[in-house]
């Protein structure tokens, strides 16, 4: 039952654990371009204190994340394939030794980077200042 809930939440973008049909980071970001903003929670392991804190901060704001087309994906270094590890380091500039949170805009660019958990208000302020988000908020 818990696995089924996790898979459903993962597919909705509310919980980004390792899904059964996990795609590569490059494929995820390519598929998300112009469709979703992506928040990558990068950590050495699932029990990383900063990762857990970030999850706690995001837990109560699921509706706010959905309204901003935000897909959350956990990236656990101890579960990465070699190509994903290389992509993370070379394309996204993430060191695979500590916690990093990256906000990727709908255009595929890195919009925010932090080495500590981001408070939702700070994350949403960044998103809401984006030109594309301002257009989205004007639509009925």
- In this predicted model, what pLDDT tens digit does every residue of 15-72 receive, in sequence order? 444 343 468 999 999 999 999 999 999 999 999 999 999 999 999 999 999 999 999 9
Phi-psi region at 34: left, alpha or beta (left = phi > 0; alpha = psi -120 to 50): left
| pLDDT of amino acid 126 | 96
64 or 13, which is more confident: 64
pLDDT digits (tens, 9 = 90+) for 85-135: 999 999 999 999 999 999 999 999 999 999 999 999 999 999 999 988 888
For the four alpha carbons of 99, 74, 71 and 12, in that order, the dihedral sign comes to negative
| pLDDT of amino acid 101 | 98
Q: Is the pLDDT of residue 9 over 90?
A: no
Q: Is the pLDDT of residue 140 over 90?
A: no
| pLDDT of amino acid 135 | 85
CATH of domain 2-138: 3.40.30.10
Helical segments of the chain, H only: 2-12, 25-32, 49-58, 62-67, 82-90, 120-128, 131-138
Q: State pTM to two decimals.
A: 0.82
Q: How many CB atoms lie within 10 A of CB 93?
A: 11
State how far the Cα of 123 lies from the Cα of 98, in Å rounded to an integer: 20
| pLDDT of amino acid 34 | 95
Structural contact between residues 84 and 27, judged by C-beta atoms closer than 8 angstroms: no
Q: How many CB atoms lie within 10 A of CB 117?
A: 21
Closest CA to 17 of 46, 47, 44: 46
Does residue 42 sit in helix, strand or coil? strand
């Amino acid at each position: 039952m818990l696995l089924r809930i996790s898979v459903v939440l993962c597919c909705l973008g509310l919980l980004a654990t390792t899904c059964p049909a996990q795609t590569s980071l490059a494929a995820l970001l390519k598929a998300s371009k112009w469709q979703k903003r992506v928040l990558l929670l990068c950590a050495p392991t699932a029990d990383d204190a900063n990762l857990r804190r970030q999850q706690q901060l995001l837990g109560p704001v699921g509706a706010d994340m959905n309204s901003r087309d935000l897909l959350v994906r956990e990236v656990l270094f101890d579960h990465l394939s070699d190509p994903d590890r290389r992509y993370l380091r070379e394309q996204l500039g993430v060191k695979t030794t500590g916690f990093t949170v990256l906000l990727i805009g709908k255009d595929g660019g890195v919009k925010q980077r932090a080495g500590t958990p981001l408070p939702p208000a700070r994350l949403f302020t960044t998103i809401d200042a984006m030109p594309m988000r301002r257009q989205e908020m004007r639509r009925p």
